A = this chain, B = another copy of it.
Amino acid sequence: MTSTNGFSDSQESDLLGEEEYKTLVKDIGFVPTPWIQKLDPAIPIKEEFPGRYNFQVSLGNLDSSKNWVYSQVLKKVFINMEETLPLRFKWEPPEDGLLLRTAMVFSLDQYASDPVRRCHNHMAPNIPSNRDVLPRVIKHVVRCTHHLTLYEERNEHLSIVTPLNRPQPGSQYVPVCFKFLCKNSCPSGMNRRPTELIFTLEDSNRRILGRQRLPVRICSCPKRDKKKEEAEVSQPDVKKRKVCIPAGKKMMPSCDTHIYNAQLNIVGKENYLAVLKYAYDIMAGQAIRTGQLDFFKPYLDNILRKTP
């Protein structure tokens, strides 16, 4: 699985230690049977299930700084590297002593078994942001701002465990913040492969009580990339490589092609003609802006015909 940039897309290097394997099997052993899909310990399970605690994750407040955005259509977060993503976790009843495990995995099945780790560039110990970071933490792409978070490694795969205390009185959820220390594009790291966060609610014995997922893209231009990905799903059949793209620019939504029938009583012929002309002009403007002159032409001509 080596792509053309020469960096292996697979990052694993070691086999799972026996001890860890036992631990893992033990953990999974407690998962209710229907949720056990694959026993290959190298492939993380991504199936969502709220479980008996009705485990849920939602987004925290979007501060106006907008270092991240959320796409409602894609159910996906787009965020800058090293910025904070505020999330909220909920479980019922809100008892104490539970744990939140957070792991980042590759979204595409073909890479599912690859561990997600930081790239060599960003792990280099001499860069300033790695100053004073523990070696066991430095290789994690995902960090949690909660200071009791544990950074774990099982079989090259990394995850972090944050202790959960019941929500503050009057609150329904617990806020937890995350940061991401590499970009999805990092060569020798995630290498342009999409990822998602897998959250599991666990008890103190690491039994899995619920699981949720949240696709995340860490990039330099979250807004731009969100727009592009949304455009892709909205026009799925357009061939990937188009020969030419007619640029649609703003000033007005370009997609609304519903036809409305306006019936108006206008005072004065001058005004009447002005309305006709205006209707013509705004549609002409949109036609040019969106490059859809062909579509608009008959409606324009129709107005012209009413003009004395």
Bound-state Cα–Cα, A112 to B121, Å: 22
Whole-angstrom distance between the Cβ of A282 and the nearest chain B Cβ: 5
Nearest B residue to A257, CB-CB? B267
- Given contacts A64-B239, A266-B260, A253 and B231 within 8 Å (CB-CB): no
| Contact yes or no, B8 A238, CB < 8 A | no
Given contacts A121-B119, A282-B275, contact A261 B259 (CB under 8 A): no
List the B residue with the shortest CB-CB distance to A121: B188
* Contact partner, A282, options B6, B260, B274, Cβ 8 Å: B274
Q: How far is the CB of A4 from chain B (nearest CB, A)?
A: 9
Residues of B within 8 A of A19 (CB): none
How many of chain A's residues have a CB under 8 angstroms from any CB in B?
91
Q: Report yes or no: B239 in contact with A63, Cβ–Cβ below 8 A.
A: yes
B243 with A301: CB separation less than 8 A: yes
Residue of B66, B127, B273, B303 touching A264 (CB-CB under 8 A): B303
Q: Is the CB of B301 within 8 A of A283?
A: no
A293 at the interface (CB under 8 A from B): yes
- Of A239, A257, A298, chain B has the most CB atoms within 10 Å of the CB of A298
**Copies of this chain assembled into the complex:** 4
Contact with B along A217-255 (1 / 0, CB 8 A): 000000000010011001100110111111101111101
Contact A269 B256 (CB under 8 A): yes
Give the CA-CA distance A221 to B237 in the complex, in Å: 24
Chain B residues with CB under 8 Å of A274's CB are: 278, 282
A-B contact pairs, 14 of them (CB 8 A): A6-B81, A121-B187, A227-B261, A238-B298, A245-B305, A247-B268, A251-B307, A260-B269, A261-B265, A262-B272, A264-B306, A266-B279, A267-B299, A285-B285
Besides A230-B261, A259-B266, A281-B281, 15 other CB < 8 A contacts? A6-B82, A6-B129, A119-B121, A251-B277, A252-B268, A252-B277, A253-B270, A258-B267, A261-B265, A264-B264, A264-B303, A271-B279, A271-B282, A275-B278, A281-B286
